[in-house]
Amino acid sequence: MSHEILMIISISFIIFISPLVSRLVKLPSVTIEIILGSALSLLGVLYHNKVFELVAELGFLYLMFLAGLELDLKQILTIPKTLIKKALLYIVILYACSVFVTFYFSLAKIFIVVLPLISVGLLASLKKEFGEKEWIKLGITVGLLGEIVSIITLTAISAWFKFGFSFSLFYTLFFFVLFILIMAIFYKFFHSLIWWYPKIKTYLMPHDDVNEQDIRLSMAIFFILISVMIYLGLELALGAFVAGSFISTFFEHNSRLPAKLEHFGFGWLVPIFFISVGSSFDLSSIFQENLFLSSLYICFAMIFIRLIASLIFLKELKKNFFLLGLSHAMPLSLLIAIATLAFQNKSISSFYYYAFIQASILEVLICMALIKGFDFLYKEK
């Protein structure tokens, strides 16, 4: 059997078995996909392949697209100003604590960017498990603003890795700001257009859709914005994220679309990305001196600064304030994305790359266990 056929069968096997193992061991399927990908890479089954890497990158971009689907700009505009101010203060405290930890422990500057990362991806699974609890609703609202900042940071740091401190960096950042302004104007224009002509939405995405036009339009917007990012030399993840938020904001009449897009992505594209991450991780490196300890330090630093920042929501959440912090301490996909970018651009060593990957998995294990444990204790009381 050729290596290519064996690899395809192995990837298919991981995609199929991960949810089953996930239910058995009570861990997110993402974690299982990374571990199995790493194990098969160690056995020589998964290896460097251009097609595999291309599909994996597409999976990551689709993951960012799904993250954008969580962001409805109309809802953000309805958030009370007091809550927005508190959310922004929460983010500022995260970055301030990150700067302090980085300089106090003499860490690489990349930690300033990594430690405050926020992603609401795993909050969706918490919402499914625990329901519409106040700390989850507030966590999603605050997390969406934090994720916007994280995506912008990802774009800026990507330009830094690529060009360094040079004219090209400022040139790229100029186009980045210009892109944001143009998108804001376009959002405003399209909002006015559908206000005057509301039938445009149902024409583009009809209710009675036998040709899956909603999926086709979504994919068209997804690839168009990625193409714009390629042309402007900006981080592709930003284009994917903006595409998702555009769909969520202006085509909310199609309530089934987010679920359809999630099923399409989490069914095969996104798992391939996480399998790829696992395959790039040398499983034998866990025995490397101080690596596991460094991963724990990173993990606890990310949890600690969020617990500190979440104190500002003590009035709203009372004893549950720390659950909000824990729910934000699992930026799995973004942490892996930043670590991969930094490693590819030789901004961090393989030691720290492996440490970040380990930390991303440990955060999920620790935070999920703590959240479930405290929820169980509160139910007992």
The predicted-structure confidence for 280-299, as pLDDT tens digits, reads as follows: 777 666 777 788 888 999 99
In the predicted model, is pLDDT for residue 380 greater than 60?
no
Query: What is the average pLDDT value for the chain, to the nearest integer?
Result: 82
pLDDT above 90 as % of the chain: 11
**In sequence order, what are the residues at sequence separation of 6 or more whose Cβ sits closer than 8 angstroms to the Cβ of residue 132?**
none
Residue 155 near residue 127 (C-beta atoms within 8 A): no
In the predicted model, is pLDDT for residue 94 greater than 90?
yes
Residue 148 CA: distances (Å) to CA of 9, 68, 178, 250, 305: 37, 9, 17, 18, 19
| Burial (CB count <10 Å: 0-12, 13-18, 19+), residue 332 | buried
Q: Which amino acid is at 376?
A: F
Residue 201 near residue 213 (C-beta atoms within 8 A): no
Band of residue 220 on the pLDDT scale cut at 50, 70, 90: very high
Count of residues making up the chain = 381
Alpha-carbon dihedral sign for residues 156, 159, 161, 166: negative
- CA distance linking residue 337 with residue 330, whole number of Å: 13
Centre a 10 Å sphere on the Cβ of residue 178 and count the other Cβ atoms it contains. Answer: 11
| Burial (CB count <10 Å: 0-12, 13-18, 19+), residue 376 | exposed
Domains of the chain: 3-380 (1.20.1530.20)
Q: Tell me the backbone φ, ψ of residue 322, rounded to 5 degrees.
A: -70, -20
Centre a 10 Å sphere on the Cβ of residue 23 and count the other Cβ atoms it contains. Answer: 11
What ranges in 164-290 are assigned the alpha helix state H? Answer: 167-196, 199-204, 213-232, 236-250, 257-264, 270-280
DSSP letter string over 306-342? HHHHGGGGHHHHGGGHHHHHHHTS--HHHHHHHHHHH
The predicted-structure confidence for 54-78, as pLDDT tens digits, reads as follows: 888 888 888 888 877 877 777 777 7
Alpha-carbon dihedral sign for residues 11, 16, 21, 26: positive
Tokens of 132: 């519409």
Tokens of 103: 């300089």
- CA distance linking residue 232 with residue 94, whole number of Å: 30
Tokens of 121: 């991806």
Residue 270 CA: distances (Å) to CA of 28, 196, 266, 330: 13, 38, 5, 17
pLDDT greater at residue 255 or residue 69: 69
- CA distance linking residue 71 with residue 124, whole number of Å: 13
Predicted pLDDT at 379: 58
**In sequence order, what are the residues at sequence separation of 6 or more whose Cβ sits closer than 8 angstroms to the Cβ of residue 103?**
none
Q: Which amino acid is at 2?
A: S
- CA distance linking residue 338 with residue 344, whole number of Å: 10
pLDDT above 70 as % of the chain: 94
The predicted-structure confidence for 114-144, as pLDDT tens digits, reads as follows: 899 887 767 766 776 676 788 888 888 888 8
SS3 1: coil
